[in-house]
Structure 1
Amino acid sequence: MWVPCQESSGRAVDTGHILKTIILGQMLSLFICGTAVTSQYLAEQYQVNTPMFQSFINYSLLLLVYTTMLAFRTGSDSLWQILKQRWWKYFLLGLADVEANYMIVKAYQYTTLTSVQLLDCFGIPVLMALSWFILRARYRLIHFLAVAVCLLGVGTMVGADILAGRQDSEGSDVVIGDVLVLLGASLYAISNVSEEYIVKNLSRVEFLGMVGLFGTIISGLQLAIVEHREIMRIQWNWKIALLFTVFALCMFGLYSFMPVVIKVTSATSVNLGILTADLYSLFFGLFLFFYKFSGLYILSFVIIMVGFILYCSTPTRTAEPTALPQPSSTGLDNAALKLEENDSEAPAITVQFTRGETVVVSTD
């Protein structure tokens, strides 16, 4: 099995792996597109702005499915043992994840769509820096070039938004909105790096179960404080219920599927791949919200995909800790070890085995 985090000199580009990574990344983008379109439809058609309530539904689904799975486990991987050993780490992870979701959505009330799209990319260099120090990922020049190409694609997309008149108003307080985006992007980076470490060293179910548990608690408390009035004002009907259901299923699918993709690639690769999510949302918006089309959107999609393929074409390597050399084994049955000679004049002992092998062992 090809491991993307290891480097091997002279290895040919694994086109099959690149194709698989592209497909998986675009599946995640479609999930994100589903959450964006349903949220925007709720806001524009029914004046429903409840990002924390929507997150609470997602975390509750994760709790129902994955935390329940952990509850039925026994031994060191059981829910009780995980909570005993590292509950506070998962509490901080859940807090980062909940607040990242909330801050990004909240930022739209203060700043423009253009600012959110540009500043949200701040999470990628933060993610690479965290991967360098925490996951010991080591990048080549082509990886930095690939990220630059992807960000150029985002810039092209923003330019297309401006030309198409999608930049919206200036917002009520641009500075607050921009700060919220930067904080949210940084928290997303922390969450994604933690997710990569957990799914590659522990398990996907543990990550999702713990995020579901603490995410439900944190988002439930925050929901009761900041959004209870908005929920009371919702005029429920089957269309609104359907939109909430589609949003919840897309978000649940995103959370459930992302660890699978991260395990075979990396958090940085995934975040580059999902830069196309805004473009998918735009394509749906052409029909649902009557956006103006621009050829620059197609160009931005191509640029982002080129950068993504460049990034995946060369595997990153993982810096390994210095290890002491291990003695090599000899003999068909590993019956004896060849010890390093410390004294060239030390007498030799010949050991004869039943199969006819002879092992010479030097003594001190």
Structure 2
Amino acid sequence: LFITTGEENLLAILKRRWWKYMILGIIDIEANYLVVKAYQYTTLTSVQLLDCFVIPVVILLSWFFLLVRYKAVHFIGIVVCILGMGCMAGADVLVGRQQGAGENKLIGDLLVLGGATLYGISNVCEEYIVRNLSRVEFLGMIGLFGSFFSGIQLAIMEHKELLKVPWDWQIGLLYVGFSACMFGLYSFMPVVIKKTSATAVNLSLLTADLYSLFCGLFLFHYKFSGLYLLSFFTILVGLVLYSSTSTYVAQDPRVYKQFRNPSGPVVDLPATSQLEPSVTYTSLGQETEEEPHVRVA
């Protein structure tokens, strides 16, 4: 962004939208912080189940703000994926894999719900940005403001815990590995969201806990249960169902009213004008004619 010229230059972007990216950066930081913090208060199973709350959040926000419309098969696929997560949580209970103190479960559960809600907001905003602006702009701005505010939060809230860490090369290597994984996640996620959707990405991420579990079977000798495999394939079936049919975007009815007035004069709009999605179309009531739809692969 520094070397880009014109409207996509860093300074030009900051001049027009700095406060929006500042808010988005804070939302993304707190989403990660709340979910990680919840592990201190509640159990692993609770985090896994309540973290699924991000899916209805993304669906609702996509429906109202991105105007995405779903079919029955999409909701069936979503329900199947969530059932797969429930199966995995049940397997954790049966094998006794209840990690976490669980001493203040209500606080921990509320933290997970808050983090999942912020995740949903962040993902929907990310989908809008990468589809209408650019993923380079998103990554640059989220990295700029995210690094700034996470550094401030670390200095204020976690500096004592950071000083207690017994630093050695092994712990340092773990931090480097974690940072590399997060770098890869944030780098590739905009690409996948642009080609699919925020909802599809979050459904796919339900398998992340299972991948970590499979690694734990070899590294930490976790107990195995056949329900884990059942959970994995159930989530895959849900993903196949969800991806079997394309969603579509319902354009704002006010947009079509500008073009569908046969008795009025034809107005040539500038080619550079963009018609942004709006939620206020719901107050216009049902149209008498069928609205045209734009298909999304």
* TMscore range, shorter length: 0.7 to 0.9
Which of 265, 275, 283 is equivalent to 2:214? 283
Shift of 1:241: 1.5
- 1:354 alignment counterpart: none
Are residues 1:172 and 2:103 paired?
Answer: yes
- 1:39 alignment counterpart: none
Shift of 1:174: 0.7
Shift of 1:290: 1.4
Are residues 1:152 and 2:83 paired?
Answer: yes
Are residues 1:75 and 2:6 paired?
Answer: yes
Are residues 1:299 and 2:224 paired?
Answer: no
Q: Following the alignment from structure 1 to structure 2, what is the Cα–Cα distance between the partners of residues 176 and 237? A: 33
Q: Following the alignment from structure 1 to structure 2, what is the Cα–Cα distance between the partners of residues 216 and 262? A: 22
**2:36 aligned partner, one-letter code:** V
Q: Following the alignment from structure 2 to structure 1, what is the Cα–Cα distance between the partners of residues 72 and 222? A: 38
Kept after mapping to 1: 8 A contact 2:3/2:9:
yes
Shift of 1:264: 0.4
Matches within 5 A, 1:81-96: 81-96=12-27
Cα offsets for 1:131-164 (capped at 9, x unmatched) = 0011000001111111100000000000000011
Cα offsets for 1:30-58 (capped at 9, x unmatched) = xxxxxxxxxxxxxxxxxxxxxxxxxxxxx
- 2:182 alignment counterpart: 251
Cα offsets for 1:264-318 (capped at 9, x unmatched) = 0000000001100000000111122211000000000000000001000001010
CA shift in 2, pair 1:230/1:169, >3 Å: closer
Cα offsets for 1:146-200 (capped at 9, x unmatched) = 1100000000000000011112355121110000000000000000000000000
Compute the RMSD of aligned alpha carbons. Answer: 1.3
- 2:45 alignment counterpart: 114
Cα offsets for 1:250-271 (capped at 9, x unmatched) = 1000000000000100000000
**1:103 aligned partner, one-letter code:** L
Shift of 1:235: 2.2
Give the TM-score normalised by structure 2: 0.85
Matches within 5 A, 1:154-303: 154-168=85-99, 171-303=102-234
Shift of 1:231: 1.8
Moved over 4 A (4+): none
**1:208 aligned partner, one-letter code:** L
Shift of 1:229: 1.5
- Secondary structure at the aligned position of 1:71 is classed as coil
CA shift in 2, pair 1:105/1:202, >3 Å: same
Structure 2: gaps spanning 5 or more residues: 263-297
Q: Following the alignment from structure 1 to structure 2, what is the Cα–Cα distance between the partners of residues 301 and 246? A: 25
Cα offsets for 1:2-50 (capped at 9, x unmatched) = xxxxxxxxxxxxxxxxxxxxxxxxxxxxxxxxxxxxxxxxxxxxxxxxx
- Secondary structure at the aligned position of 1:318 is classed as strand
Structure 1: gaps spanning 5 or more residues: 1-69, 328-364
Q: Following the alignment from structure 2 to structure 1, what is the Cα–Cα distance between the partners of residues 226 and 18? A: 49
- Asked which structure has the greater CA Rg, the reply is 1
Which of 231, 235, 250 is equivalent to 1:319? 250
- 2:276 alignment counterpart: none
Shift of 1:217: 1.0
CA shift in 2, pair 1:131/1:171, >3 Å: same
